Structure 1
Amino acid sequence: MTEAAFYDVMRHGLWIAVKISAPLLMVALVTGVVIGLFQALTSVQEMTLTFVPKVAAMLAVFWVSMSFMTATLSSFYGDIVIPMIAGG
Protein backbone atom coordinates (compact mmCIF):
# COMPACT_ATOMS: atom_id res chain seq x y z
CA MET A 1 0.00 0.00 0.00
CA THR A 2 1.41 3.33 -0.99
CA GLU A 3 1.34 6.38 1.18
CA ALA A 4 -1.10 8.13 -1.16
CA ALA A 5 -3.53 5.20 -1.00
CA PHE A 6 -3.31 5.16 2.79
CA TYR A 7 -4.11 8.87 3.03
CA ASP A 8 -6.93 8.52 0.53
CA VAL A 9 -8.56 5.74 2.56
CA MET A 10 -8.02 7.75 5.75
CA ARG A 11 -9.60 10.84 4.20
CA HIS A 12 -12.55 8.82 2.95
CA GLY A 13 -12.98 7.16 6.36
CA LEU A 14 -12.99 10.51 8.14
CA TRP A 15 -15.58 11.84 5.71
CA ILE A 16 -17.75 8.77 6.40
CA ALA A 17 -17.43 9.47 10.14
CA VAL A 18 -18.61 13.05 9.58
CA LYS A 19 -21.57 11.91 7.46
CA ILE A 20 -22.63 9.30 10.02
CA SER A 21 -22.33 11.55 13.07
CA ALA A 22 -23.90 14.66 11.51
CA PRO A 23 -27.58 13.80 12.15
CA LEU A 24 -27.00 13.02 15.83
CA LEU A 25 -24.85 16.08 16.41
CA MET A 26 -27.26 18.40 14.65
CA VAL A 27 -30.20 17.13 16.69
CA ALA A 28 -28.22 17.50 19.92
CA LEU A 29 -27.27 21.05 18.94
CA VAL A 30 -30.79 22.13 17.99
CA THR A 31 -32.35 20.48 21.04
CA GLY A 32 -29.78 22.07 23.34
CA VAL A 33 -30.35 25.53 21.88
CA VAL A 34 -34.15 25.22 22.09
CA ILE A 35 -34.05 24.00 25.68
CA GLY A 36 -31.47 26.63 26.64
CA LEU A 37 -33.68 29.32 25.15
CA PHE A 38 -36.68 27.92 27.02
CA GLN A 39 -34.71 27.92 30.28
CA ALA A 40 -33.53 31.47 29.73
CA LEU A 41 -37.04 32.71 28.98
CA THR A 42 -38.70 30.98 31.92
CA SER A 43 -35.83 31.13 34.46
CA VAL A 44 -36.16 27.39 35.07
CA GLN A 45 -32.71 25.98 35.87
CA GLU A 46 -33.24 22.23 36.07
CA MET A 47 -30.42 19.93 34.93
CA THR A 48 -32.72 17.08 33.91
CA LEU A 49 -34.62 19.47 31.66
CA THR A 50 -31.57 19.69 29.39
CA PHE A 51 -30.46 16.08 29.63
CA VAL A 52 -33.60 13.98 29.18
CA PRO A 53 -35.08 15.66 26.06
CA LYS A 54 -31.68 15.77 24.38
CA VAL A 55 -31.10 12.05 24.95
CA ALA A 56 -34.64 11.23 23.83
CA ALA A 57 -34.24 13.25 20.62
CA MET A 58 -30.87 11.66 19.90
CA LEU A 59 -32.27 8.16 20.43
CA ALA A 60 -35.16 8.90 18.08
CA VAL A 61 -32.83 10.22 15.37
CA PHE A 62 -30.47 7.30 15.86
CA TRP A 63 -33.35 4.86 15.45
CA VAL A 64 -34.51 6.61 12.26
CA SER A 65 -31.05 6.99 10.70
CA MET A 66 -29.64 3.60 11.70
CA SER A 67 -30.25 2.12 8.24
CA PHE A 68 -28.43 5.05 6.60
CA MET A 69 -25.47 4.60 8.96
CA THR A 70 -25.32 0.86 8.36
CA ALA A 71 -25.56 1.22 4.59
CA THR A 72 -22.85 3.89 4.55
CA LEU A 73 -20.42 1.82 6.61
CA SER A 74 -21.18 -1.36 4.65
CA SER A 75 -20.54 0.35 1.34
CA PHE A 76 -17.29 1.86 2.65
CA TYR A 77 -15.99 -1.50 3.77
CA GLY A 78 -17.36 -3.41 0.79
CA ASP A 79 -16.11 -0.97 -1.84
CA ILE A 80 -12.83 0.26 -0.38
CA VAL A 81 -11.46 -1.60 2.63
CA ILE A 82 -12.13 -5.25 1.77
CA PRO A 83 -10.86 -5.01 -1.85
CA MET A 84 -7.75 -3.29 -0.56
CA ILE A 85 -7.15 -6.10 1.93
CA ALA A 86 -7.88 -8.81 -0.65
CA GLY A 87 -5.68 -7.11 -3.24
CA GLY A 88 -2.68 -7.19 -1.00
Structure 2
Amino acid sequence: MEDLVFFDTMREGLWVAVMISAPMLIVALVAGVSIGLFQALTSVQEMTLTFVPKVGAMLVVFWVSMSFMSKSLVEFYTARIIPLIIGS
Protein backbone atom coordinates (compact mmCIF):
# COMPACT_ATOMS: atom_id res chain seq x y z
CA MET A 1 0.00 0.00 0.00
CA GLU A 2 1.33 3.38 -0.92
CA ASP A 3 1.80 6.04 1.72
CA LEU A 4 -0.57 8.40 -0.06
CA VAL A 5 -3.40 5.87 0.00
CA PHE A 6 -2.76 5.12 3.67
CA PHE A 7 -2.75 8.76 4.73
CA ASP A 8 -5.80 9.56 2.62
CA THR A 9 -7.72 6.68 4.19
CA MET A 10 -6.67 7.79 7.68
CA ARG A 11 -7.76 11.36 6.91
CA GLU A 12 -11.16 10.19 5.72
CA GLY A 13 -11.52 7.91 8.75
CA LEU A 14 -10.76 10.76 11.13
CA TRP A 15 -13.24 12.98 9.31
CA VAL A 16 -15.94 10.31 9.67
CA ALA A 17 -15.13 10.07 13.38
CA VAL A 18 -15.49 13.83 13.77
CA MET A 19 -18.77 13.87 11.89
CA ILE A 20 -20.39 11.07 13.87
CA SER A 21 -19.25 12.42 17.24
CA ALA A 22 -20.17 16.06 16.58
CA PRO A 23 -23.91 15.86 17.46
CA MET A 24 -23.27 14.35 20.88
CA LEU A 25 -20.38 16.69 21.66
CA ILE A 26 -22.36 19.77 20.67
CA VAL A 27 -25.31 18.73 22.84
CA ALA A 28 -22.98 18.02 25.78
CA LEU A 29 -21.41 21.45 25.35
CA VAL A 30 -24.74 23.28 25.16
CA ALA A 31 -26.20 21.33 28.10
CA GLY A 32 -23.10 21.88 30.22
CA VAL A 33 -22.97 25.61 29.55
CA SER A 34 -26.68 26.12 30.14
CA ILE A 35 -26.68 24.09 33.37
CA GLY A 36 -23.54 25.89 34.55
CA LEU A 37 -25.20 29.22 33.84
CA PHE A 38 -28.32 28.10 35.73
CA GLN A 39 -26.19 27.03 38.69
CA ALA A 40 -24.30 30.32 38.70
CA LEU A 41 -27.49 32.35 38.57
CA THR A 42 -29.31 30.43 41.31
CA SER A 43 -26.29 29.50 43.51
CA VAL A 44 -27.36 25.85 43.45
CA GLN A 45 -24.23 23.69 43.60
CA GLU A 46 -25.57 20.16 43.19
CA MET A 47 -23.38 17.67 41.32
CA THR A 48 -26.28 15.55 40.07
CA LEU A 49 -27.86 18.64 38.55
CA THR A 50 -24.89 18.82 36.20
CA PHE A 51 -24.48 15.12 35.45
CA VAL A 52 -27.98 13.70 34.99
CA PRO A 53 -29.42 16.19 32.43
CA LYS A 54 -26.22 16.13 30.38
CA VAL A 55 -26.18 12.33 30.20
CA GLY A 56 -29.90 12.26 29.43
CA ALA A 57 -29.52 14.77 26.60
CA MET A 58 -26.58 12.84 25.17
CA LEU A 59 -28.54 9.57 25.28
CA VAL A 60 -31.45 11.17 23.43
CA VAL A 61 -29.17 12.61 20.76
CA PHE A 62 -27.36 9.28 20.44
CA TRP A 63 -30.67 7.49 19.95
CA VAL A 64 -31.89 10.04 17.37
CA SER A 65 -28.64 10.17 15.38
CA MET A 66 -27.83 6.45 15.47
CA SER A 67 -29.05 5.91 11.90
CA PHE A 68 -26.83 8.73 10.65
CA MET A 69 -23.84 7.30 12.52
CA SER A 70 -24.41 3.78 11.23
CA LYS A 71 -24.96 4.99 7.67
CA SER A 72 -21.75 7.05 7.73
CA LEU A 73 -19.65 4.19 9.06
CA VAL A 74 -21.09 1.65 6.60
CA GLU A 75 -20.53 4.02 3.66
CA PHE A 76 -16.93 4.63 4.69
CA TYR A 77 -16.30 0.93 5.18
CA THR A 78 -17.83 -0.15 1.88
CA ALA A 79 -16.35 2.70 -0.15
CA ARG A 80 -12.81 2.78 1.31
CA ILE A 81 -11.90 -0.17 3.48
CA ILE A 82 -13.33 -3.13 1.55
CA PRO A 83 -11.66 -2.10 -1.74
CA LEU A 84 -8.34 -1.81 0.10
CA ILE A 85 -8.80 -5.27 1.60
CA ILE A 86 -9.72 -6.77 -1.76
CA GLY A 87 -6.81 -5.00 -3.40
CA SER A 88 -8.59 -3.16 -6.18
2:16 alignment counterpart: 16
Give a deviation string over 1:34-61, Cα, whole Å, max 9, x none: 0000000000000000000000000000
Say how many residue pairs are matched. Answer: 88
Please give the alpha-carbon distance, in whole angstroms, between the structure 2 residues aligned to 1:8 and 1:21: 20
Mapped to 1, the partners of 2:32 and 2:42 lie a distance apart of 15
- One-letter amino acid of the structure 2 residue matched with residue 24 of structure 1: M
Deviation, 1:87, is 1.2
**1:50 and 1:28 mapped to 2: Cα distance?**
11
Matched with 1:26 is: 26
**What is the aligned-residue RMSD (CA, Å)?**
0.7
Sequence identity (%)? 69
Q: Which runs of 4+ in 1 moved over 6 A?
A: none
**Which whole-Å CA distance do the structure 2 matches of 1:30 and 1:86 have between them?**
43
Equivalences for residues 1-88 of structure 1 within 5 A: 1-87=1-87
